[in-house]
A and B are shown apart, each in its own frame.
Chain A
């Protein structure tokens, strides 16, 4: 009820102030006659509005009142109207409150999925060969064969050969196909080089081609792609080409070194030793030759020389994974 009286009085005072503006009085009298009732109306309005405000907004009282009064007083009519409409709208048409305060949303999909890294990696302690030997699940064995794509050929080929004996067709066929591809790459190179050799007359160039052919034949043997009689044949052919190359490029350290390795694999230890010594004498770095000289010494049962060759190795070279065990043993 108090609001009604307050509002009615405020409206009456406001109307009176606007009436003073319309009266034919002296401007100074007009200003005073307008300002007095307008100030009263604004004050009453400020009191009413502050009470209508939600409790949290009613504090602090004095400055709140002053603010409301200022808006009403300094923006005549529009200020009052604006304050009324906003306050009333806010009070009587509040924003609809949601029943559930939380909305569950899903993570949006990424444009493509990130790779999933298995928490149980395939390459466990036993390695891929162990997976092939012992995993009961053919899918896992298949995956082990696929994984050989990411390791060096020399390590992959024995694993693929093992997979050729798998009980499941898919695993065997995949291993065969991968082995066959590796072999085909080398055979393709050999074929090209052999045809180049037939067309080339320039001696140094022929020497280089012989060298590349010897290296590819050697790779077939070294990687384990040739076995049995075929291996013997491949090694013989490699030696023929390396010797043909040496006739044209007599001081090539790499060629003498390759010849040494071929001879060593063929079991011709004595000539292998000579070839390695020659390779060293024409400039092959010691670090490359010494491990082979150690092997030659071992196979000739000159064990003191094995130790000497390995001790002469650069300390860094001795840390090479394939050599470190042997080097430690003979220290």
Chain B
């Protein structure tokens, strides 16, 4: 296990590592587990990345290889984590990086049978409610997607320059497209599928592995599905948020998709335009294919497990493994708390729109008006979305909160948690935020928005869990007034604060320990490795 991590730059492109790698390109050993990571560890810090780091470090008996998939290389800086010793391989690929142009394309015919099979798969994805027996679906995947980019299947050149591909696009346009522009349809189909062909070439170069584990659906999940089909290795899927849902929200609002319907007017009944629906269905489709091949499919809490089932996951293959934290790291912080409750509300998280930092800042205006001396600390890195961070600073200035709301940047949780009186989370979307568990373990009540599993964490899930009491308060998203009201009540009502603190500590110690989480994944990996 005492092996040096190796970074292999993708043939596409690669990031510059902060921790330089040895000269060898590919590690000669077979990794036990290859983690398929999209836009997270080790180049982006955050909840998912912390979880990945926690898993790798907590299971030193397994060796890990990492495949990082990013969008544009320019968006990622150096590595945010020092790779543990049991990481034996790392490779990075950037799917939105411009490709070298084929300057002399040649006309091709393309294999008719392959295109007919792909058309069947598309028919299924268009109306999955009509169903396809699992064996038949797996058979279809084996003869289509698994062979994508190989000489036995559809090559990228066939897709770009083949007569069959043209025929399929032309036919689908006349059969399904409600947007008048064939040009838009044609180029949307081409650009939509381009990353999939890149993933097929990545799949061919991933080093030998015994088990694949994707940490989301989307492109990482698609790669996992390809590898499962091509190498017949076990494929595990863990979803923190629900990728498809988050993509859907992005795409509904994305301004890079032109809505032709709006050009021609539209009524109130208008839903999303065809091109938008096409993109949404694309991600729903690759999510569904990932669910069809992954086993087990893990969610962090019951709400997300139900969502996975709605999105096409087989209930028998789904399970819940909640996050857990290292109690030994946070429990000692309770002794470092001051006797009086500090009037400081802390928000630990990246300064990005999904955390809705602006609601926190607006709420602080009310809190500071009613509780002079109160402070709001925003503790987290600002580099990921510098424009948003600047907007937040501007908002602080425009609300005259310069002295009371502070941006502390990235800080070690151990250093700041004992100095807070209340932990806040104003996110608009979460799964099971580790920061809430860390707050509980360090003896802090939590005020969080009603997203993901926050309500379960604060109010309890089962009857037994609820009996422990509320470890804080839940509020609606984007409601600064409600936030301020609840924050003021918790900070000024000492008895209530102490009750919430006790409930949080009891809950995290009983249900959300790192030991439990590590044990669950240890068993999962061992059973997967036995299948190999």
**Residues of A with Cβ closer than 8 Å to B?**
109, 111-115, 117-118, 121-123, 128, 143, 146-147, 150-151, 164-165, 169-170, 172-174, 176-181, 187, 191, 227-230, 233, 237
User: Is A150 a contact of B480 with CB atoms below 8 Å?
Assistant: no
Inter-chain contact B365/A230, CB cutoff 8 Å: yes
Residue of A118, A176, A180, A181 contacting most chain B CB atoms (<10 Å): A176
The residues of B that contact A118 with a CB separation of less than 8 Å are 269
Q: How large is the interface on B (under 10, 10 to 19, 20 to 34, 35 or more residues)?
A: 35 or more
CB distance from A186 to the nearest CB of B (A): 12
Contact A115 B261 (CB under 8 A): yes
Mark out the residues of chain B between 246 and 273 whose CB falls within 8 Å of any chain A CB in the assembled complex.
246, 248-249, 252-253, 261, 266-272
* Contact residues in A for B253 (Cβ distance below 8 Å): 174, 177-178, 181
Residues of B within 8 A of A109 (CB): 174-175
B527 at the interface (CB under 8 A from A): no
Is B394 in contact with A191, judged by CB distance below 8 angstroms?
yes
- In the bound complex, do residue B477 and residue A176 qualify as a contact, i.e. CB atoms below 8 Å apart? yes
- 7 pairs of residues in contact across A and B, judged by CB atoms under 8 Å: A112-B173, A112-B177, A113-B178, A117-B269, A123-B269, A165-B476, A229-B362
Asked, given contacts A112-B177, A176-B428, A233-B399, whether A146 binds B252 with beta carbons under 8 Å apart, the answer is yes
In the assembled complex, which residues on chain A have CB atoms less than 8 Å from the CB atom of B249? 170, 173-174, 177
The 6 tightest CB contacts between A and B, nearest first, are A229-B366, A228-B481, A147-B268, A173-B249, A229-B365, A113-B178
Contact A111 B174 (CB under 8 A): yes
| A227-B480 in contact given A112-B177, A123-B268, A146-B252 (Cβ < 8 Å) | yes
The answer to whether B252 and A164 have CB atoms under 8 Å apart is: no
Which residues of chain B are near A233, meaning CB under 8 Å?
365, 398-400
Q: Is the interface of A mostly helix, strand, loop or mixed?
A: helix
Distance between A236 CB and nearest chain B CB, rounded to angstroms: 10
Query: Nearest-CB distance from B279 to chain A (Å)?
Result: 15
A187 touches B391 (CB 8 A): yes
- In the bound complex, how far is the Cα of B269 from the Cα of A143, in angstroms? 8
Tell me the complex Cα distance, A230–B353, Å. Answer: 19
Kindly list chain A residues whose C-beta atoms are within 8 Å of the C-beta of B369: 229
**Which B residues are CB-close (under 8 A) to A128?**
268
- CA A276 to CA B252, docked complex, whole Å: 43
Known: A115-B178, A169-B429, A228-B480. 20 other contacts (CB 8 A): A109-B174, A112-B173, A112-B179, A113-B177, A115-B261, A117-B267, A122-B268, A122-B269, A143-B269, A143-B271, A146-B252, A172-B451, A173-B246, A173-B429, A176-B356, A191-B394, A227-B480, A228-B481, A229-B366, A229-B484
Contact B175 A112 (CB under 8 A): no
Tell me whether B479 is interfacial, beta carbon within 8 Å. Answer: yes
Task: Please state if A230 and B451 are interface contacts (CB–CB under 8 Å).
Answer: no
Question: Which residues of B sit under 8 angstroms from A227, Cβ to Cβ?
Answer: 480-481
CA distance in complex: A164, B476 (Å): 7
CA A109 to CA B173, docked complex, whole Å:
11
CB distance from A70 to the nearest CB of B (A): 57
Q: Contact mask B366-393 → A, CB, 8 Å, 1/0?
A: 1001000000000000000000000100
Tell me which residues from 306 to 326 in chain B have a Cβ below 8 Å from any Cβ of chain A.
Answer: none
Query: How many whole Å from A152's CB to the nearest CB in chain B?
Result: 12
Contacts of A187 in B (CB 8 A): 391
